[in-house]
Amino acid sequence: MIAILGTGKMGEALMSGLLRAGFKSGQIMATARRVERAEALRESYGVRVVSNIEAAKSADTLILTVKPQDMAGLLAEIQPYVPADRLVISAAAGITTAFVESRLGTDVPVVRVMSNTPVLVDEAMSVISAGAHAGEEHLRHTEELLKPVGKVLRIPESQQDAATALSGSGPAYFFYLVEAMVDAGILLGMPRSAALDMVTQSIVGAAIMLRDSGEHPVILREAVTSPGGTTIAAIAELERHSVRAAFLAAIEAARDRGRELAAG
Ligand SMILES: NC(=O)C1=CN([C@@H]2O[C@H](COP(=O)(O)OP(=O)(O)OC[C@H]3O[C@@H](n4cnc5c(N)ncnc54)[C@H](OP(=O)(O)O)[C@@H]3O)[C@@H](O)[C@H]2O)C=CC1
Ligand SMILES: O=C(O)[C@@H]1CCC=N1
């Protein structure tokens, strides 16, 4: 039995992925803070929505998907009910396995996960790291849960905040880029829906080429960039506006914010 504690956007996305992967609704419990949210989850997925305490007492695997700011409160609530044979998977940005272990106060195995919203289309990037009491079997079990909804990589926990900044938040940067490019289409007089179609198909095509060709992104970009042509005119402007430097600074800021979140 798997329990998802704090079933918001990420928790629901993971739950829907588990159901698509063949888990039965009877094998999954969810918890929610608000009655209407609990009702919506019951209705949409047919899962049992229970209290955090009941979930902690009865599920073998607890997946914690509350916001980092709510993690200490949730851990304090479930602490007396989590025996050392539970696997606790923490999916919150910034929260370390040591934070979870210290609040649960037993030798409970903890695995830290950072996934992203493409879990909804089985294209998530999930990175996992073991805590002090988690071993190979816990990492393998976590991978089995996450592989049906995308790619899974094991990384040292010291890289988790960086991964959060790159792939956890990553989809937002691409949506932001699409918004900006669609605005550019509007500026050039293109109807909004046509601009959105063109940009969306371009990003999908580029992403598939990047993933499937095995080519380095520089090679793929060079293939588009004709000497004296249109693409280099655009790239010259991106460089003039320091877009590359902006990405470096932005992703560093996201990493730093992740570090701050654990401190509360
Ligand atoms: N969104 C994303 O793209 C990603 C998010 N994450 C991580 O996932 C976690 C959740 O993020 P997200 O899904 O966006 O946030 P949400 O606010 O959508 O989800 C958190 C949910 O937890 C509920 N909750 C809070 N406290 C409790 C409690 N004590 N008991 C039961 N339920 C509780 C909240 O209830 P209420 O609705 O009442 O607030 C909310 O529904 C975060 O830690 C974030 O760092 C990781 C990767 C990507
Ligand atoms: O913005 C956030 O804090 C969360 C973590 C990664 C993606 N969303």
244 within ligand 1 shell (Cβ under 6 A): no
Q: Residue 79 pLDDT > 90, yes or no?
A: yes
pTM, two decimal places: 0.95
Sequence ranges of the domains in the chain:
2-156, 170-263
Q: Measure 14 CA to ligand 1 centroid, in angstroms.
A: 12
> One fold for both 2-156 and 170-263?
no
ipTM: 0.98
Measured by CA distance, the residue closest to atom 7 of ligand 1 is 92
Average pLDDT over residues 9-17: 96
Q: Looking at the domain that runs over 2-156, which CATH code has it been given?
A: 3.40.50.720
Q: Residue 195 pLDDT > 70, yes or no?
A: yes
Of the options 3.40.605.10, 1.10.1370.30, 3.40.50.300, 1.10.3730.10, the CATH number for the domain spanning 170-263? 1.10.3730.10
Q: Residue 239 pLDDT > 90, yes or no?
A: yes
Q: Residue 263 pLDDT > 90, yes or no?
A: no
Q: Residue 264 pLDDT > 80, yes or no?
A: no
Q: Residue 262 pLDDT > 80, yes or no?
A: no
**DSSP character string of the chain:** -EEEES-SHHHHHHHHHHHHTT--GGGEEEE-SSHHHHHHHHHHH--EE--HHHHHHH-SEEEE-S-HHHHHHHHHHHGGG--TT-EEEE--TT--HHHHHHHH-S---EEEEE--GGGGGT-EEEEEEE-TT--HHHHHHHHHHHGGGEEEEE--GGGHHHHIIIIISHHHHHHHHHHHHHHHHHHTT--HHHHHHHHHHHHHHHHHHHHHH---HHHHHHHH--TTSHHHHHHHHHHHTTHHHHHHHHHHHHHHHHHHHHH-
**Nearest ligand to residue 251 Cα:** 2
- Known binding positions for NADP(+): 5-10
Tens-digit pLDDT profile for residues 117-154: 999 999 999 999 999 999 999 999 999 999 999 999 99
